[in-house]
Amino acid sequence: MREASRRDFLLAAAGLPVLAASSRVMEAAAQAPPLRPTPSCPGSASPTERQTEGPYFKPDSPLRASLLEPGMTGTKIVVTGMVLSTTCQPVARALLDVWHADDRGAYDTSGFRLRGHQFTDDQGRYRLETIVPGIYVGRTRHFHVKVQAPGKRVLTTQLYFPGEAGNARDGLYERSLEMRLAKGEGTFDFVVEA
Ligand code: FE
């Protein structure tokens, strides 16, 4: 069986929907060479690269791990990972504040749609439920994130999707900020000064 059809079969066998948009992204990801582990734990790791917060950040986002709301359109995605220190220790109660465009590439600037913050658990883990952001002029697909170990400096960055045609055309895009993407789930570990 070809790899793509085998994967679709496995998804179908697991009772999971094969989502058009995300399966296209995943096929591209499956063909890409394996990513360098990010971070290079166990051992030590460099802090996650900082990026501009852009024009759409708003403070005081609601506390919530799911940004999904009734009637919201788009492809659901779960993003999980850890917040680690530069010595690869899990950072508990780290702040993770996420904001991103809707499936048509628009930010909610009047309210808090697709904006929310959460804290990592005792093992430094987070789990975000949201939709795949749409793209807007000049940018490839991305999430905006602020991460902060308790009492430490805020790290502002962005997360990218593997296999996006727009990645190569976006001057902000960084390979080290790509999530791994499989079966509709993204993973990314952040490294912060803790
Ligand atoms: Fe943006």
pLDDT in tens, the chain (194 residues): 444 444 444 444 444 444 444 555 555 555 555 555 454 788 888 999 999 999 999 999 999 999 999 999 999 999 999 999 999 999 999 999 999 999 999 999 999 999 999 999 999 999 999 999 999 999 999 999 999 999 999 999 999 999 999 999 999 999 999 999 999 899 999 999 98
Claim to verify: residue 83 and residue 154 sit in the same structural domain = yes
Residue 100 CA, ligand 1 centroid: distance in Å: 6
Query: How many domains does the chain fold into?
Result: 2
Residue 53 lies in a domain: no
| Interval between CA 43 and ligand 1 midpoint (Å) | 32
Say yes or no: 85 and 148 in one domain. yes
Is the pTM higher than 0.75? The answer reads: yes
Same structural domain for residues 95 and 188? yes
57 Cα to the center of ligand 1, angstroms:
9
Distance 135 CA to ligand 1 centre (A): 9
- Judge if 86 and 170 occupy the same domain: yes
Q: Is residue 136 part of a domain?
A: yes
Whole-angstrom CA distances from 187 to 18, 92, 95, 125, 163 are 18, 18, 17, 11, 15
Residue 46's H or E segment, with its range, is: none
Tell me which residue range forms the domain holding 20: 1-32
- Would 59 be classed as within a structural domain? no
- Report whether 141 contacts 90 (CB < 8 A): no
Whether 42 maps to a domain, the answer reads no
The answer to the question of residue 97 being in a domain is: yes
* Residue 45 resides in a domain: no
Please tell me whether residues 186 and 90 are part of one structural domain. yes
For residues 181 and 106, state if they share a domain: yes
CATH code for position 129? 2.60.130.10
Query: Please, which residues have CB within 8 angstroms of residue 155's CB and are 6 or more apart in sequence?
Result: 47, 48, 50, 146, 147, 148, 190, 192, 193
For residues 10 and 106, membership in a common domain is answered with no
Instruction: Let me know whether 3 and 87 are in one domain.
Output: no
Ligand 1 center from residue 42 Cα (angstroms): 32
Same domain? For 86 and 23 the reply is no
Assess if residue 90 is contained within a domain.
yes
In a domain? residue 62: no
Written as six digits, the tokens of 177 are: 């900020």
